[in-house]
Amino acid sequence: MIVDLPSSTTSAVNKKLVELRERGGVLALGRVLTLVVVTDDGAAIENAIEAANTASREHPCRVIVLARGQRRAAARLDAQIRVGGDAGASEVIVLRGYGALAGGEAGAGMVMPLLLPDAPVVAWWPEEAPTVPAEDPIGQLAQRRITDALSSKNPVKAFEQRRAHHVAGDTDLTWTRLTQWRALLAAALDFPPHDEVTGALVAGEQVSPSTDLLAGWLVTRLGVKVKRSPASRGQGMSLVRLTRASGPVELVRPDGKTATLSQPGQPDRMIALARRGVPDCLAEELRRLDPDDTYGEALAGVDNVSRGRTAVKV
């Protein structure tokens, strides 16, 4: 069910939510958090709502989408409520603000009356994010702040901003996309021979914040020299090679879908390692509300990664 409330107010939205609950009980489910999605008004809204709905099946929540409209228009709030089959396991409230209501303090003011009482708040910027999410009016309401440097118009600039202005509680989906890579590499080192890792090579696309971040993570975890180089082919992360006296451990993904794990004394293994979608990454991030210290350490570790200019054959 989709209910449109043009030229509305947050008070009218709250009243409509109560009315829907009393009429059919469709909203009388336990919600574990409020997810505030901040984006510009346009086609990206539906993609963000779809990802939030998918994640809500694992984490029932209230989703508030703050869609920033034209700033030069007259001040107006157009609201929309989605419940039932149009909202996954959540209730979705879309707030389209125009003019003075298009963002900033006004956006936070519209969101506050709709937050679930006594429930944590998570803010998500699916595309462009503020330079310092923790200082943004919406970010100040949230325990966790999720960004995605890869979805920005300038991923390199966005990633540098995440590094320069990281605050406990911040995270980025470029980090979440690495979960399976990190798990496979950690598990590979549990197999004998248990030689010390003496160096590492990470290769990926020229512009790939996730590749840079994995290199930073290896620096902090292994305490060795790590080189980050471009890859001859592949999307995103393509290769990780850990150097040991008994022979290297290699995880190679040339096609963005299937990887090969090679290590001494073990047969090569083919592993399904497709690039993770936004709904999957978002659901993972909603599993934790405490600061991700490992992510912060990996960001700092990027400063100690050496750069290679020659493409590594994958």
Higher pLDDT, 27 or 81: 81
Type of residue found at 113: P
Q: Is residue 116 part of a domain?
A: yes
Q: What is the DSSP letter of 273?
A: -
Question: Domain containing 206 — which CATH number?
Answer: 3.30.360.10
pLDDT of residue 102: 81
pLDDT(60) > 50: yes
Q: Tell me the three state secondary structure of residue 13.
A: helix
| Same domain (yes/no): 41, 130 | yes
> What gap in Å lies between CA 162 and CA 296, rounded to an integer?
10
Average pLDDT over residues 73-98: 86
Checking if the pLDDT of 70 tops 90, the result is no
Percent above pLDDT 70 for the chain: 97
Is residue 314 included in any domain, yes or no? no
The residue type at 94 = V
Strands (E), 7-142: 33-40, 61-68, 76-82, 91-98, 121-124
Q: Are 271 and 260 in contact (CB under 8 A)?
A: yes
> Would you place residue 24 in the very low, low, confident or very high pLDDT band (cuts 50, 70, 90)?
low
N-term to C-term CA, the chain: 49
Q: Kindly state whether residue 157 falls inside one of the protein's structural domains.
A: no
* Same-domain check for residues 83 and 196: no
Q: Judge if 190 and 105 occupy the same domain.
A: no
- Distance between CA atoms of 250 and 239, rounded to whole angstroms? 7
Q: Are residues 69 and 121 in the same domain?
A: yes
183 and 303 together in one domain: yes
Q: How confident is the model at residue 71 (pLDDT cuts 50, 70, 90)?
A: confident
What does the pLDDT look like over 172-198, one tens digit per residue?
999 999 999 999 999 999 888 889 999
Mean pLDDT for 15-44 is: 79
pLDDT of residue 226: 98
Host domain of residue 41: 2-147
Q: Where are the alpha helices (DSSP H) in 165-208?
A: 173-176, 179-188
73 and 31, same domain (yes or no): yes
Whether 210 and 136 share a structural domain: no
Look at residue 167 in the predicted model and tell me its pLDDT: 97
Q: CB of 150 within 8 A of CB of 271?
A: no
Q: Are 199 and 226 in contact (CB under 8 A)?
A: yes
Tens of pLDDT, residues 118-140: 899 999 999 999 999 999 999 99
Shared domain check, 77 and 184: no
298 Cβ neighbours under 8 A, 6+ residues apart: 175, 213, 214, 216, 217, 220
Q: End of a domain among 125, 147, 169?
A: 147
Residue 173 lies in a domain: no
Q: What average pLDDT does the segment 80-90 reach?
A: 80
Number of domains in the chain: 2
Could you read off the pLDDT of 264-276 as tens digits, one per residue?
888 999 999 999 9
Prediction pTM value = 0.93
Shared-domain flag, residues 66 and 198: no
Do 183 and 60 lie in one domain? The reply is no
What's the whole-number average pLDDT of the chain? 92
Give the Cα separation of 253 and 271 in Å (integer).
9
Place of tokens 């590094």: 163
Does 213 reside within a domain?
Answer: yes
Helices (H) and strands (E) in the chain, counts: 9, 15
In order of 173, 179, 297, the CA distances from 284 in angstroms are 10, 9, 19
Domain-ending residue, one of 95, 127, 147:
147
Q: Is 152 contained in some domain?
A: no
Q: Is residue 286 part of a domain?
A: yes
Answer for the pair 52, 283: CB distance below 8 angstroms, yes or no: no
139 and 28, same structural domain?
Answer: yes
Residue 165 lies in a domain: no
Residue 103 in this model has a pLDDT that exceeds 80? no
Residues 82 and 191 in one domain: no
Does the structure show a pLDDT above 50 at 28?
A: no
